[in-house]
Chains A and B, each alone.
Chain A
Amino acid sequence: MSTAELNSDIKKASESSTNRLRELVAHLRQNRTQLREEWLRRIFEAKLLTAMSRDEVFAEATSVYDSYVGALETRTLEALQAYAQKLSERIIPRGVETHEVVGIVLLLRDVLARSLFAKYHTEGDLLNAVLDAYEPAANSIAITVAVGFVRERERVIREQQEAIRELSTPVLQVRERLLILPIIGVIDPQRARQLTEQLLRGIRANRARVVVIDITGVAAMDSHVANHLVQTVEASRLLGATVIVTGLSPEIAQTLVKIGVDLGKMNTVGDLQGGIEEAERLLGYKVVLTQEVHAQISGLNDGA
């Protein structure tokens, strides 16, 4: 349900229920301390919000209570919604779960409803009228808070996924004009796409001429991913870079031949070391073990 719908729900209240709500708000304000204490007792009893200290729960509960009554009074949800979002931002990193947030809001709803029963139990009709005004408003509030929390949580999750994805495909420069792209873990189509994008951008940014893609850490590969790899190699060539693929495991090599992926255009070398050596050869580098270091190493070995 959208905020607008909820707002119209909460506003639909007729003239008489407006008066009821006003009366109700006055009652909730009057008994603030006592109702809040009751609510807190129920929260601790239900073992909710255990990730937070008692003082923190007390402080949050106080402001939730006031926002709740405020929403009943003004009959708009915007302020409460903004508050719910801020609250979620604060408590999600603490490990508060969805059921806890929904739980405390429903508890407050219950505590307040009970206090209404206690106040009006002698007058059945009046109680009915008060509940008619209270119930829709309380439901809208509960939904608003729960949706706000879930939405914030989803945002955090999306952000984390993004971060993990970016971390999982580093494009590293090992020498002038030489990039390596170590791929570890499962490659799904989305990751494959992102990997390609990052590599092509990396080639441009670092003016790379040779790229070594190491797939030692990839356990399995299907035809879709293999074809994507071939496309990446070709796209890199269009940017003027040569790609060397290293670390094809025996299983993957056999799978690729069995499913008939055309690897004719791919330059493959057994392991990462061999790939880097080949890349250095292409770039005209020659790595020489200097005498001094050589002596040091043998010296160390002799000492050991």
Chain B
Amino acid sequence: MSVPILKQSQYLIATIQSALSDEDLLALQTKLVERVGKFRSRGVIVDVTALDVLDSFASRTLRDIAHIIRLRGAETVIVGIQPEVAFAMVQLGITLEKVSTALDLEEGLAYLDKRLQHAPAEH
């Protein structure tokens, strides 16, 4: 099942609504990377609130998305990781290093606003 990507001013918001297969994840990656350039977005939020498990492939793909999008000149925030999921991930040694995280969508938007305030804006 594919993930809807919404454009909200200079951000893209991808809300994962159910467990994704590996192909779905890779499709999400391709689509996000492409849209960031198309809409000249400055930030990307991936919302995983609905997921009650994040396996190593999903985590690695999220990390890759964040790194690729940084190369495309935008910031990525993963939001909505559940407490149980977070601890399970850490126990498996998945820590999403160098990837920004926030509690929920609202916090993620606030984080991006703050980050981009300090960065040179391209109006």
* Interface, chain A (partner B; CB < 8 A): 196-197, 200-201, 203-204, 207, 209, 231-232, 234-241
Contacts and interface: CB of A to CB of B under 8 A. Distances in A.
Given A197-B83, A240-B101, 12 more contacts: A197-B87, A209-B107, A231-B87, A231-B90, A232-B87, A235-B89, A237-B95, A238-B81, A238-B89, A238-B101, A239-B81, A239-B101
Most buried by B among A201, A234, A238: A238
A240 B79 contact: yes
A239 B83 contact: yes
A257 to B, nearest CB: 22
A231 B86 CA distance: 10
> Among the interface residues A203, A240, A241, which one has the most CB atoms of the partner chain B within 10 A?
A240
Contacts of B102: 240
10 contacts: A203-B83, A207-B107, A231-B90, A232-B90, A235-B83, A235-B87, A235-B89, A237-B95, A238-B81, A238-B89
B75 to A, nearest CB: 14
Nearest to A231: B90
Contacts of B89: 235, 238
Interface of B: 78-79, 81, 83-87, 89-91, 95-96, 101-104, 107-108, 111
Contact of B103 (A201, A204, A232): A204
Contact of A241 (B78, B96, B103): B103
A237 B101 contact: yes
Contacts of A240: 79, 101-103, 107-108, 111
B95 A238 contact: yes
A203 B103 contact: yes
A275 to B, nearest CB: 21
Contacts of B86: 200, 235-236, 238-239
A231 B91 CA distance: 7
A231 B89 CA distance: 9
A207 B79 CA distance: 12
Nearest to B78: A238
Contacts of A197: 83, 87
B79 A200 contact: no
Given A238-B81, A238-B95, A238-B96, A200 B103 contact: no
B46 to A, nearest CB: 13
Contacts of A239: 81, 83, 86, 101, 103
A240 B86 CA distance: 10
A239 B79 CA distance: 7
A207 B101 CA distance: 13
B68 to A, nearest CB: 20
A207 B111 CA distance: 14
A241 B83 CA distance: 12
A49 B101 CA distance: 61
Nearest to A230: B90
Contact of A201 (B83, B85, B95): B83
Given A196-B87, A200-B87, A207-B107, A234 B95 contact: yes
Nearest to B85: A238
Contacts of B87: 196-197, 200, 231-232, 235
Nearest to A206: B103
Q: B87, B107, B108: which has the most chain A beta carbons within 10 Å?
A: B87
A79 B121 CA distance: 79
